[in-house]
């Protein structure tokens, strides 16, 4: 297999995680150049993989030996790099969110469509998680009947100081937003956020927990609990109530321990461990499809849909009302 030469923009937590998996675990690619607005972070990451440091994202995109881009900077910086990659005709894997606003996501969609070539994949890794894939197979087989209700929980042990109320949507629930419409083969039409008593563990800039309600075109009602100071670990729950029965996502597999008068099962501490296999499969498949000149994963259109849905939820955080979700028609390019 030919080797895909990758340039990484943003070498923080997930940037380093992806660099490590490409370098030590996956096949078919190597990281040749990295950049980060923090020079120290870029140097550290470059050392991990034997790559060189470039001065900024634009230099990475323009480098002659970079075949494809991995964008792992902060959400607000994604659009600039993705648009540069499209202009250069280079494939780009962009971590979620595709961009900070639906408007910027639409610019990316329009640029990709105008270029006439599929180049953009968004980092919605749950589509590669074994548990969600098993659930999807059951739903698509029809044996459980029509999905009627979905209950989800997205719990983080804790979050950084700068994490605020809208981030519960843009940074966290955006994973549910993407995975659920894919899982139940439907489209969202409205969104609402309900908040009540908050935990004493949240900082003043964050309402935590939050309950998010989405309704679909087909009438399915979805509730998502986002609780990012749950303290006890990283816990992702999903249950789909169907006409013939209920599908619950399997828990990560750990031995059940009986010790000190207690029965216990380990719970992962964060996303790095909980979705490690999903990230591996996601990036390996991205490498393989990029070498073939294809995009097989979540597209820029999926990134745009997630952003429009996020905007409606964030608006509801402010208004408390049920907000409509209006996306416009899917371009035939993405069908």
Where do contacts with ligand NAI occur on this chain (CB under 6 A)?
A: 9-15, 35-38, 41, 57, 72-75, 77, 95-96, 123, 125, 171, 271
Answer with the entry of ligand ISE, ligand NAI, none that 181 interacts with (C-beta below 5 to 8 A by kind). Answer: none
Q: Which is nearer to ligand ISE, 55 or 272 (CB)?
A: 272
Name which of 214, 213, 161, 194 is nearest 318 in CA terms. Answer: 194
Instruction: For the CB of residue 120, give the shortest distance to ligand NAI in the complex, in Å.
Output: 15
Number of other CB atoms surrounding residue 197 within 10 Å: 6
Contacted entry of ligand ISE, ligand NAI, none for residue 9, CB cut-off 5 to 8 Å set by kind: ligand NAI
Name the phi and psi angles at 74, rounded to 5: -65, 150
By a kind-dependent CB cut-off of 5 to 8 A, residue 172 interacts, out of ligand ISE, ligand NAI, none, with: ligand ISE
Binding partner of 212, given ligand ISE, ligand NAI, none, CB within 5-8 angstroms per partner class: none
In this structure, what token pair is assigned to residue 251? 């828990």
Q: Alpha-carbon torsion 159, 162, 166, 170, what sign?
A: negative
Q: Closer CB to ligand ISE, residue 172 or residue 181? A: 172
Q: Given phi > 0 = left and psi -120 to 50 = alpha, else beta, which region is 85?
A: alpha
Q: Do 59 and 36 contact (CB within 8 A), yes or no?
A: no
Of 35 and 229, the one with the shorter C-beta distance to ligand NAI is 35
Pick what 57 binds: ligand NAI, ligand ISE, none; C-beta below 5 to 8 Å, kind-dependent.
ligand NAI
Q: How far is the CB of 175 from ligand ISE (least distance, A)?
A: 6
Minimal distance, residue 288 CB to ligand NAI, in Å: 19
3-state DSSP: the chain helix, strand, coil percent, rounded to 5?
40, 25, 35
Taking the C-alpha atoms of residue 294 and residue 218, their distance in angstroms, rounded to an integer, is: 31
Q: Which residues bind ligand ISE (CB under 6 A)?
A: 156, 171-172, 175, 228, 271
Residue 156 interface partner, choices ligand ISE, ligand NAI, none, CB cut-off 5-8 Å depending on type: ligand ISE
Residue 14 CB, nearest distance to ligand NAI (Å)? 4
Sign of the CA dihedral with 310 first, then 175, 83, and 116 last: negative
Residue 81 or 156 with smaller CB distance to ligand ISE: 156
Identity of the residue, 4 or 71, whose beta carbon is nearer to ligand ISE in the bound complex: 71
> What's the min distance (Å) between Cβ of 217 and ligand NAI?
27
Closer by beta carbon to ligand ISE, 4 or else 306 = 306
- Residue 88 Cα to chain centre, angstroms: 24
Contact (Cβ atoms closer than 8 angstroms) between residue 84 and residue 56: no
Burial 292-313 (b: 16+ CB within 10 A, else e): eeebebbbbbbbbbbbbbbbbb
Contact between residue 93 and residue 71 where contact means Cβ atoms under 8 Å apart: yes
CB of 245 to ligand ISE, least distance (A): 28
3 state SS of 89: coil
Q: At its nearest, how many Å lie between ligand ISE and the CB of residue 172?
A: 4
16 vs 317 by CB, closer to ligand NAI: 16
């Amino acid at each position: 297999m030919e080797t895909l030469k990758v340039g990484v923009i943003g070498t923080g937590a997930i940037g380093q995680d992806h660099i490590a998996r490409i370098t030590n675990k996956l096949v078919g690619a190597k990281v040749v150049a990295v950049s980060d607005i923090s020079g120290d972070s870029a140097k550290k990451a470059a050392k991990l993989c034997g790559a060189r440091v470039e001065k900024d994202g634009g230099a990475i995109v323009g480098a002659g030996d970079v075949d494809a881009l991995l964008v792992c900077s902060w959400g607000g910086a994604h659009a600039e790099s993705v648009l540069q990659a499209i202009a250069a005709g280079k494939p780009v894997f962009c971590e979620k969110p595709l961009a900070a606003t639906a408007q910027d996501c639409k610019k990316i969609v329009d640029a990709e469509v105008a270029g006439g070539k599929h180049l953009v994949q968004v980092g919605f890794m749950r589509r590669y998680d074994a548990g969600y894939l098993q659930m999807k197979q059951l739903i698509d087989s029809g044996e459980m009947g029509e999905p009627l209700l979905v209950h989800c929980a997205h719990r983080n042990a804790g979050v950084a100081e700068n994490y605020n109320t809208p981030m519960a949507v843009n940074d966290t629930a955006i994973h549910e937003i993407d995975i659920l419409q894919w899982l139940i083969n439907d489209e969202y039409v409205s969104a609402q956020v309900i908040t009540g008593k908050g935990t004493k563990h949240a900082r003043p800039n964050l309402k935590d927990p939050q309950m998010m309600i989405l309704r679909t075109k087909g009438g399915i009602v979805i509730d998502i609990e986002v609780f990012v100071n749950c303290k006890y670990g990283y816990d992702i729950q999903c249950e789909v109530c169907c006409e013939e029965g209920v599908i619950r996502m399997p828990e990560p597999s750990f031995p059940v321990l009986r010790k000190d008068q207690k029965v216990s099962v380990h719970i992962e501490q964060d996303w790095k461990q909980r979705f490690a296999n999903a990230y591996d499969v996601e990036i390996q498949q991205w490498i393989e499809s990029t070498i073939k000149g294809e995009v097989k994963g979540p597209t820029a259109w999926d990134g745009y849909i997630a952003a429009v849905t996020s905007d409606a939820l964030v608006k509801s955080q402010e208004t408390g009302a049920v907000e409509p979700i209006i996306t416009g028609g899917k371009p035939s390019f993405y069908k």
